[in-house]
Amino acid sequence: MVEVPVVVRDGSLHAVNGLARDDFEVFDNGKKQAIASFSEEHFTPRGDASPPGAARPNGQPRPRFLALCFDDLHLLPGQLNPIKEAGKQFVRTSLAPGDRAVVVRTSRSENVSFTNDVATLVGQIDKIAPPFMDVSDDKQKCPHIEPIEAYQIANSLDSGDQVLHAKMAECIPCFNRPCTDREVIARAKMLWARVRQNTGNALGEIDGLVDGMARLPGQRIVVLTSGGFLTGTLEADVDRLMEKARRAEVVINGLDARGLRVNASGVVWYDGMGVLASGTGGTFFHDNNNMELGFRELGTLPETSYVLGFAPSDGSDGKFHNLKVRLAEKKGYSVEARLGYTATAATANATNSAVSKLDRAAMASDTVTELPASFAWEQWAGPPAITLIIHLDFKLLHFKPNGDRRSQKLAIVAVLSDSHGMFVTGKRSVLELNLKDATFQQFAKGGFTTALTIKTPPGSYTVRAVAEDAMEGKLAAASSTVEVK
């Protein structure tokens, strides 16, 4: 069964309620599908108090994982404070029951976890600081070159060298002479190298974020807040990122921190957010100074939504399927729905099968003892965390001869879930062993022990540990409960 969340909006962009199954049509790669399941869901944000005696809407929203991604590599200092305040107001008032959110930034990779604790999220937003380097170039330098101008000059896209000549002339008030073309081109190439590097770093962090969200149960949304970034010469990276997000069913929404721009030049080139949004089924909020409204529109569940389910008539080819949802009768409404899904392959290659086996074991609850491994969970002194202790019996573990050494590779996964079975955080580690005989014999006597520590807020958790060896694909897995203090 493929589930398709759908939002229908009227001409004023308000969510439309009261529609029925027969009002919708679903097409899978152009083929109309029979809608096997249908539900209407309602949501009231925390900040919206219902009048006394008002009937509460029925239906529970689907669980969501929401990543608030602040592109601090492209947020100017003047843009940062309004964006931070709007983001804090959003997490205080607009998260739904069951929502889990995380705050990340593109300037660095951080070990943060999804949480429903508002104070934690507000604190993470407060830590966001102005970028180390302003990629808009120093306004006092002469001539001043905008990133779009640097892109055009450095990549020989300046039609008739109009921008180049204009920048050469800008030097006259500064130096009483025009700059040479070599001087301007050199500055443009230097600036473009900085801009391109920052864009590449931002795309890399978003790519990693999509990887981390791919296996989360429920809706997966990234709200990317940026001051705009160029994607020229990085089109292949953008295409790969959008394809990965579509296959992982991660929607990327874009929030333009520049607000309303009047007669902005070259705006078409600052389309990184818009491209990612349109390519993943997301929404691009731009040309509006109300950042709080932007967060609400991009990160809040609509007041009314629908979930359509269908069994694909041709859904076992392992390929990406394009989806189209429309209303059976046109009523002047717009329809928002996911762009597609990746079908389950009837036969998968060995590599994908191994990955799927490990993932399935991590999300299960049974005990598996194919591998000679045992698990224990401990708390050590320091900040709130839980440590997984893995003990391996080398006498029963198969090794591969590798010259004068014995080799083995194991993947170890630790997962924490809340009392409702919702994923909270997890960590994966790869243990590569390449032992000389003397070292192997030493560990064979008492076994080999290693540890994996996960930082997490205090609370009660269900924990799951899984280990898999790369040689035979054998597993060991066990679940238990812990109280982190």
Average model confidence (pLDDT) across the chain: 83
Residue 136 pLDDT grade (very low, low, confident, very high; cuts 50, 70, 90): very low
Neighbours of 400 (CB within 10 A): 13
First to last CA, the chain: 41
**pLDDT(59) > 50:** no
Give the percent of the chain with pLDDT over 70. Answer: 87
Residue 103 pLDDT grade (very low, low, confident, very high; cuts 50, 70, 90): very high
| Separation between Cα atoms, residue 278 and residue 251, nearest integer Å | 9
Bigger pLDDT: 283 vs 423: 283
Tell me what pLDDT residue 282 has. Answer: 82
| Separation between Cα atoms, residue 73 and residue 1, nearest integer Å | 41
* Average pLDDT over every residue of 31-38: 91
Q: DSSP string of 363-388?
A: H--S-EESSSEEEEEE--SSSSEEEE
* Average pLDDT over every residue of 212-226: 89
pTM above 0.95, yes or no: no
What letter does residue 275 receive in the DSSP assignment? Answer: H
Q: Which of 94-98, 149-153, 267-271, 313-317 has the highest mean pLDDT?
A: 149-153
Residue 269 pLDDT grade (very low, low, confident, very high; cuts 50, 70, 90): very low
SS3 percent helix, strand, coil of the chain, rounded to 5, is: 30, 30, 40
| Separation between Cα atoms, residue 461 and residue 97, nearest integer Å | 18
Quote the Cα angle for 371-377-381, to 5°. 145
Q: What tokens appear for 92 in the block?
A: 């205080």
Q: Give tens-digit pLDDT for 148-169.
A: 889 899 998 888 899 999 999 9
Q: Which of 50-59, 132-141, 300-309 has the highest mean pLDDT?
A: 300-309
**pLDDT(265) > 60:** no
Task: Look at 342-346, 372-376, 431-435 and tell me which has the smallest mean pLDDT.
Answer: 342-346
Residues 6+ apart with CB under 8 A from 115: 100, 101, 102, 121, 424, 457
* Average pLDDT over every residue of 266-279: 69
Q: Give tens-digit pLDDT for 455-485.
A: 888 888 889 999 998 878 888 999 988 888 8
Q: Structural domains in the chain?
A: 2-43+304-342 (no CATH), 350-484 (2.60.40.10)
Q: What tokens appear for 264 in the block?
A: 């902005």
Give the percent of the chain with pLDDT over 90. Answer: 30
Q: Give tens-digit pLDDT for 170-194.
A: 999 888 898 999 999 999 999 889 8
Tell me what pLDDT residue 345 has. Answer: 62
Residue 57 pLDDT grade (very low, low, confident, very high; cuts 50, 70, 90): very low
